[in-house]
Every structure is written in C-alpha cells, then in structure tokens.
Chains A and B, each alone.
Chain A
Amino acid sequence: MKINVLVNGQKKIYDVLPDEYLLDTLRADHLYSIKRGCDNSSCGVCTVLFDGKPVQSCSMLSMKADGHSITTIEGHQDEAKRLSEHFGHQGADQCGYCNSSLALTVHAMKTEIEKPTEEDIKEYLVGNLCRCTGYEAQHRAIKLCLEEEDEK
C-alpha cells in the first residue's frame, strides 16, 4: 500500500505492507541513524520524531505515518554535531549505537521543557537505554550543551 510521508522535509512515497514497521521502511530508505535494538520498544535506539514527538519506530506501523512528518537525526545535523562535540569532550560517546536516537530525543525534550533540570533530563530520556557509559557522562554532556545553547 502506498503511503505519503514527509521525511526530514522531503516528500516520500513508500510502498509498504500492512504489518510493516516504520523502522524497516526507513532503514530500507537508507536512513541508517535509526537502529534495530530490542524488537519491542524497550531500548529506544529506533526513536524517530513523529510530527515532532519522539516515538519508537520499531513499534509503529508504517501505515500510521501516512500523511505525517517524520524527522530523524539526518534532518538535524547541526544540532547533532553540537551535541556530539559535548559528548566527545565528556567521554560520553562509547560505542555510539544509542547516540543518534538520544540526540533526537534531546531535541524533542528541548521543545517540551524550557530549562530542564538533571531530574527532567533523566526522566525524559529514561526510555533511551545505554549499556556502555553508565549514563553520567551523557548527562554532563547534555547539560553543558543545553547551557551553551541557552547562552547563545
């Protein structure tokens, strides 16, 4: 079945099966920032923005995206670059597998919470698991990035 989706600002037409998941559709379209992790919405590495809100693409039927807009980190490269510099400076980027979905969720968090505290950050990002870093370095990097963006 054909669906019309706006992906990172580009109009796309995908031919999908009724039980196809957005994760597979987008990866088949070379959007490699979206990753396969747990198959049942438990880990967060497949996060995309659906009309600006984070959702887990491994659990969203592609059909539901018809007529909507999807954003991935490929559509927020400047922001990802800024956050990745902070991650680099705090040693928060180990295997990197959770990083792009995390950056996207941080972007979404900024649109919902004005000056997030550390508790806000932990709560908003709780669905984005990381097995490498122990989380502390990531929180430091995110806070510093937000502070820097605030100052600008």
Chain B
Amino acid sequence: MKVVNHALPSIDGKGLMMGKPAYSDDLADPTSLIVKVLRSPHPYAKITKIDTSKASALEGVEIVLTYKDFDRRPFTRAGQGYPEPSPHDKFVLDDHVRYIGDEAAAVAAIDLKTAEKALKLIDIEYEVLEPVLDFETAFENKILVHEEPEIHDMFPIGFDPKKNLAAAYHMHVGDVDKSLEESEVIVEESFYTQAQAHVMLEPHTVNARIDYQGRLVIYSSTQTPIHVRRIISQGLDYPLSKIRVIKPRVGGGFGGKQAIHGEMLVSAVTLRTGKPSKMIYTRKEVFESSYSRHPMRFDLRLGAMKDGTLKAIDCWVVSDTGAYGEHALTVFMVAAAKVFPLYNKVDSVRFHGNVVYTNHTPAGAYRGYGAIQGNFALESAIDMLCHKLDVDPVEFRQKNMIKETETSPIFKIMGEGTEGIEMFMESCKLDYCVKRGSELVKWKEKYPRKQISNSKVKAVGMAIAMQGSGIPYIDMAAATIKLNDDGFYNLMIGATDIGQGSDTILAQIAAEALGTTLDKVIVYSSDTDLTPYDTGAYASSTTYVSGNAVLKAGKEMRQMIVDEAAKVFKVEPDEVEYDGIILKSGEQEITLKDLSNRLFYNEDQKQLQITSSYYGTKSPPPFMAGFVEIDLDIETGEVDIIDYVSIVDCGTTINPMLAKGQVEGGIVQGIGMAMYEEVLYSKSGQLITNDMMNYRIPTRREIHNLTTEFADSYEKSGPYGAKSVGEIGIDTPPAALANAIYNAVGVRITTLPITPEKILMAIKELEKGGK
C-alpha cells in the first residue's frame, strides 16, 4: 500500500505549533457577550427565591436567565445516537440544583468583570436539602435526587428515579452459582475505581452568533457536532434547519466533550439577545461542572479448577452516575461487554448491577468507557487466582484467553445500551501480543521480583485488554468526495478530529482508494451544514466506521472517474486502466488532471461527487497485552515506572505513528488513573481536587520509557484491514500496576489510585501479620 500503513505526518499539525488561530475561542466573534453561570454552592437544594432585578439593572448586562425563563422540556446532554440510551433528566435550568457546581442561573454581559459582578447581584435563596453523597447507599435511599414528573427514559434501560436508579442491568450465561460450587478454587474481592477527570488542556469552550441569514451558528469544542445540533433544537424548541454547528480544532476531549456543556445557555443567550455570545469554562468548572469517569465498585467472584481452567465469572457492580444520567447504562455495560469476553472459555458468567444517582458531579463518557474499570477489577482478580493456583499469570492468560476464530456468548447478549451481535474473532493476535510483550519486558527473568538494594525491589506485572470498533447497527458514518479541476479532491467528513488524527488517517484511506497522494486530498470536517453525518469521536468508531465510509466513497469515486474516461475513449469501463494518475485504453490516454479540467470546463461537463455511508455489522475488538516493570521503595511505598510495554493488535495501522501516539497517550492516562489521579470530596459534597494543582496528571518525570509495538494482523471487515485504536491504550495500566505491586511486595491494592501511602500502609499491615 502506498499511503495506508505509512507513518505520514499529520496534515494539520504545523499551523497549530506556529500559533495560527484554530481553536474555538480563537474564532469567537470579538464582540461576543461573556456568559457566566451562577453555580450551586450546595450539593442538593431547591431554589426558593431568585430575584435578578439588580443583576439585570447593572450597566453592561444584556440578559439574566433563570429556570423561570424556560419551558420544561427534559433532554439528555449525552452525545449519543437518537433515541439515546441515557435518561432525559436535564432541563435547561431547573428550580432544583443537584450537585455543587450545578447551574442555577446565567448572565450575559459585555465583559468578564461585569458578568462576574452581575452574578453576585443575583438575589438567590436556597432551601438546602439533605444530599445523597455515598453511592453505596444511594439505591432505594429515602432521599431522591430526581423527583421531577417530566423526566423519562427513551426506551427501557432500568431507569427508576424513585429508587435513585438512572439505569440497571442484568445478564447471565449458564448457571454461575453452580459453576462456583463446582470450582476447586475461588477468589472473591471488591474493587473500587475513582471518578477520574479528563484534564484535556483546552477547557470547554463555545461561542454562538446569528449569521446574516438569521441562523444560529455555534462554534463548539465538541466531539459530537450532530448531537449538539439535535439537543439544542430539542432543549430550546428551535428548528434543526436553523442551527449550524461547527467544530474547530479541539484541545483534547477523551470523552469529556461527548456531551453538551455550555452550548445550551450560550445558544439561549444568542437567540434571545440576537447578539454573539461565548462561554469558556474555568478549570474549576471543568472539574466540578462538566463530567468525570463513572466511579464504580465491583464485587467479583471467580471460580477455577486446580488445573488452571477458569470456570466462572460473577460480577455485581454499582456505578455512580452523579446528578444526571448521561452515559449511565452504556458505560456500565461496556465494563463487562468489552472485558469479560477475554475469557471466553468459561462455563458461566453473570454481570449485573445498578447505576445510581447521587449529588456528585455528573459522570459521563471517558476513554475506555467502563472497560478500564472492568479491566482493573477482572485482571486484578485473575492475578489473585493465579497466585492461589500457583500459576504464572502469563501462562494462565495463554490458557484461558480468547483466540482467533473463537467467539463468546457475551457478544450476542451485550451491545452498548442494547443487545449485541454474535461475532467470531476474525482477527485476534492476543497470543502473539502476550508472548511478545513478555519477551520484551523479560518476564521470565524478572517475574515476580528481584531485590535490587536493601530498600528497592524490581517487579513486573501484566494485564490483557480488548475494546471495540464502533457500535454495530447504530453508529453510522458518511463521507463525501468531490473531484476538482487539476485532479485534486475534497474529502468532506462528519468525523470529528479532536487531536487523535482522524482527518489525517481518513485522508490516507481516501488517498489509497483513489490512487493518489495525501497532499491531493483536502479534508474538511465536522460542520453540520457542509459535511455528511457522523456520530462523532467516540466508541472507537472513527477508524473502522468512518474509515469504511471513506473507503467506499473513494472506491466509488475511482469508478466514476473510470466511467468518465471510458466515455471519452468511447470504450466500456472495464477496458480502462487507471493507476490514479493516468487513464489508458489501448493507444488512448488522458491524465486525471486533464480529465478533471475537461469535466469542469470543456465537454460533457459535470461535477463528480459521491457520498457513501457505512454502518458496522460487527465491532471487531482491538486487543492488547500490557506489561509493566516497576522499582518499588519498600520503605516508603514510592513506585518508579521503569518501562511499560504495549503490544497491540488493531489490525492494519492506517498510520503506524499516529496509532502509536494513541496507544502511548492512552497508557499514560491509564497510568494516571492507576497511580496519581486522586479524587477527593469533602464531607459536605465539595470536590476538593478541583484544580490542576490538587488533581495531578502524569508529568514528563513520571514516564521513563514506553515500548509500543503492533501485531501483524488484518481485520477483513475493516478498511484495509484496520480496527480502531483510540481507546485500547488506556485499559491495562491499573491492573498491570496493581499486579506488579503485588508481585513486588505481596500487597493487593483494590482501590484506585494506588498511592505510595496505600502501598506502605499495606506493607506495614502485612508485617504485623495482617491480610
């Protein structure tokens, strides 16, 4: 292949380093009103009085909005396909506030100082209500987070606000209690994962204006422009045809921008004042008032035979979706759907639990999307089983994990929000990944540990993972290719580049299909007026689903060019040879350049343009094996991550360098969740770790070495054999590190993050003769 599977530089990086205006705020109308939100200081309260007269009277204030200014029309903020598997439980503004940071009112003024002053002039009184702050006692708690009569689900998802349930789920294969009875060795443990924050460097930003045709034009730092348009239309009862959403360059998303954030209030301000307006979240607002990862508790039981055969997986989960139910069911399901099939040879599986409402910052989509939480629990428990069985963890995986051509009954039962479809692994190089990874990390030499000094121990740990490639029968993507004079193309795609490089890799696929070079494919993406449909950047759908749409379009355009040349040559299309540059038939030939000019200007003129769509009928999982080497100071619990080895099977890498970047970025985010990113709440429900000084992501000093390789793999159903790769990198570090730490000092940490304090205190417990 000439373009695909080549490490070509991205098509858009240069201008960004040089500082060209490209991000949402760079493109805001300079006369934009500044929109600021009055945020609740209470985790749960009813607004008993709100008087905006003083704020409105302040010079420079254009408009002040409260719940009284909106019809009660519930929607979900989640950026998902319609009808969404998330409850419609949010109003533009409500007379109840449900977490510290929730929106109570909004102000639009000529500048920031005036807006902030106006917020202070809003006369607001709250009846403070007792909040639900412990997700483990939220279910059937006498305090209900949502009592509004108008809220509803779009289809059954286990939504039952009278029990504080945003969603609930149950599945089983076989008889898990029986399998456990028959098992010779059992492991039973509970695991907790925290509400990790995305910490994308660009805070949520949106600006809106009314254009000269009277349409609402929104520039938003979003992952899902199409869903933004639809939700704004629903929430504000404004025609879809009068809304345009444009996604400029985005400074990181990772799922944190897969829902609407400031768009609703900014749109309301612009529609009502007729003036451009904008909102930039402060970093505190990003932490407190956007989204975080769903914190979960897993109660896991594994059953196995002494010969090392895994027989049963039994898992009960409680997930805290916070004050609103975005992504509640889908993240929950992925915690099993994209983890448990790794061990497809078990006799039985049970996965069930609740997604509860609490008065915490809402949880939402975040890279991994449940799989990282599920992976931490399962892969930790598997290692615990290995130790009980006295089996090498690598050997145990090799014996029990899924292999190429195999399937798992879970694929059919569990989709994402709905049922899934049966899938056989046409590409699965997990066995190679495990073998290669253990070689590179020198597992046999180092497992379980080596004493390197009086106070330091070196150890290794590992975990395997899988993810998906889009949601079958739900995620659809489309691509439009237009031929220009001079023989270059425009590629219009809805697919959303949030920095992961989708513009580049989709252009590579197009160039390969068209037989041209990358510089001849000009990409324009994510403008709801000009680009065709795409669900957006989530569910690892871009390479696989959007990629297949682009591939289709490219092939069809290529055929259209051949057909035109055939007309010129007066032959049948199958008599035309075409290498992407020159079309030939016998003695006749014409260059694409000349043909395209002829089609524009000279004869039989027409515009060659094609739009092709694709939706997946399966979601072939990428796989990976992660191996970590650590040095642990046994006197202080400090851990140095020496090397993280990742061997990934994502089929063909459309761009091996960008794919590597996805994996490495994911690994470091996963390491952050595993070791450094602490989420702390005060007793009164205030998020303490609400800025980047208190919430710490990995810096350059934490990462010593990353070794990343790709398996030689090919997925037939994917474009040029590709599967997706955006999320898989994040899944393995929590379990791999927990396992390495156990191997180092014999302590099993079951709550994230694994801090040096937890390690040292556990070592002290062990020394005292504890667990």
Contact = CB atoms under 8 A, between A and B. Distances in A.
A and B touch in their complex, CB below 8 angstroms: yes
Interface of A: 17, 30-40, 42-43, 45, 72-74, 77, 80-81, 83-85, 87-100, 102-103, 121-123, 125-126, 129-137, 139
Contacts of A89: 7, 9, 657
A35 B203 CA distance: 10
A36 B664 contact: no
A109 to B, nearest CB: 13
Given A39-B283, A91-B658, A131-B669, A122 B700 contact: yes
B202 A77 contact: no
Interface stretch (B244-252, B374-382, B458-466): B244-252
B14 A81 contact: yes
Contacts of B423: none
Contact of B18 (A17, A37, A100, A126): A100
Given A96-B249, A96-B499, A132-B665, A126 B700 contact: yes
A126 B701 contact: yes
A39 B25 contact: no
Contacts of A85: 9, 14
B202 A97 contact: yes
A40 B661 contact: no
Contact of A134 (B23, B499, B668): B668
Q: Does more than half of chain B's interface fall in helix, strand or loop, or is it mixed?
A: loop
A7 B236 CA distance: 44
B254 A131 contact: yes
Contacts of A129: 201, 692, 697, 699
Nearest to B112: A24
Contacts of A100: 16-19
Nearest to A102: B17
Contacts of B203: 36-37
A132 to B, nearest CB: 5
A126 B283 CA distance: 20
A130 B201 contact: yes
Given A38-B283, A132-B499, A84 B18 contact: yes
B122 interface: no
A107 to B, nearest CB: 12
B604 to A, nearest CB: 41
23 contacts: A37-B283, A38-B283, A45-B201, A73-B19, A74-B19, A81-B14, A84-B14, A85-B14, A89-B657, A91-B655, A94-B499, A95-B200, A96-B249, A97-B252, A98-B201, A99-B16, A99-B17, A122-B700, A131-B200, A131-B254, A133-B665, A134-B666, A135-B703
A34 to B, nearest CB: 8
B252 A38 contact: no
A96 B18 contact: no
A134 B667 contact: yes
Contacts of B201: 35, 37, 43, 45, 95, 97-98, 129-131
A7 to B, nearest CB: 13
A77 B249 contact: no
Contacts of A40: 283, 691-693
B10 interface: yes
Given A35-B23, A38-B692, A97 B251 contact: yes
Nearest to B691: A40
B141 interface: no
Nearest to A20: B113
Contacts of B669: 131, 134
B551 interface: no
A136 B26 contact: no
A59 to B, nearest CB: 12
A73 B21 CA distance: 12
Contacts of B661: 91-92, 94, 132-134, 137
A134 to B, nearest CB: 4
B747 to A, nearest CB: 27
B693 A42 contact: yes
A54 B16 CA distance: 19
Contact of B499 (A74, A83, A95): A95
Interface string B657-683: 110110011111100000000000000
Given A35-B202, A136-B706, A87 B13 contact: yes
Which A-B residue pairs are the 9 nearest by beta carbons? A95-B499, A33-B19, A88-B9, A97-B251, A96-B16, A93-B13, A91-B657, A134-B664, A134-B668
B53 interface: no
Interface in B1-22: 7, 9-10, 12-14, 16-22
Given A36-B203, A88-B13, A88-B14, A131 B700 contact: no
A84 B25 CA distance: 22
Contact of A35 (B18, B20, B251): B251
A87 B284 contact: no
Interface string B233-275: 0000000000000000111101000000000000000000000
B693 to A, nearest CB: 5
Contacts of B693: 40, 42
A126 B699 contact: yes
The listed residue with most B CB atoms (<10 A of its CB), out of A94, A98, A99, is: A94
B280 interface: yes
A78 to B, nearest CB: 10
B199 interface: yes
Contacts of A73: 17-19
A135 B692 contact: no
Given A40-B691, A80-B18, A88-B9, 13 more contacts: A35-B201, A37-B202, A39-B282, A81-B17, A88-B14, A95-B499, A98-B201, A121-B700, A129-B692, A133-B668, A134-B661, A134-B669, A135-B703
A15 to B, nearest CB: 13
B695 to A, nearest CB: 9
A63 to B, nearest CB: 16
Contact of A96 (B17, B198, B665): B17
A131 B252 CA distance: 8
A80 B17 contact: yes
A77 B667 CA distance: 32
A93 B16 contact: yes
Contacts of B13: 84, 87-88, 93, 96, 99
Given A95-B202, A136-B664, A32 B26 contact: yes
Nearest to A119: B701
A43 B692 contact: yes
Contacts of A35: 23, 201-202, 251
Contacts of A39: 282-284, 691
Q: Which of B280, B658, B705 has the most CB of A within 10 A?
A: B658
A37 B701 CA distance: 20
A32 B21 contact: yes
Contacts of B7: 89, 91
B242 to A, nearest CB: 29
A88 B23 contact: no
A93 B500 contact: no
Interface string B611-627: 00000000000000000
Given A131-B254, A134-B706, A94 B500 contact: yes
B202 A134 contact: no
A97 B201 CA distance: 7
B768 to A, nearest CB: 38
A47 to B, nearest CB: 12
A72 B658 CA distance: 28
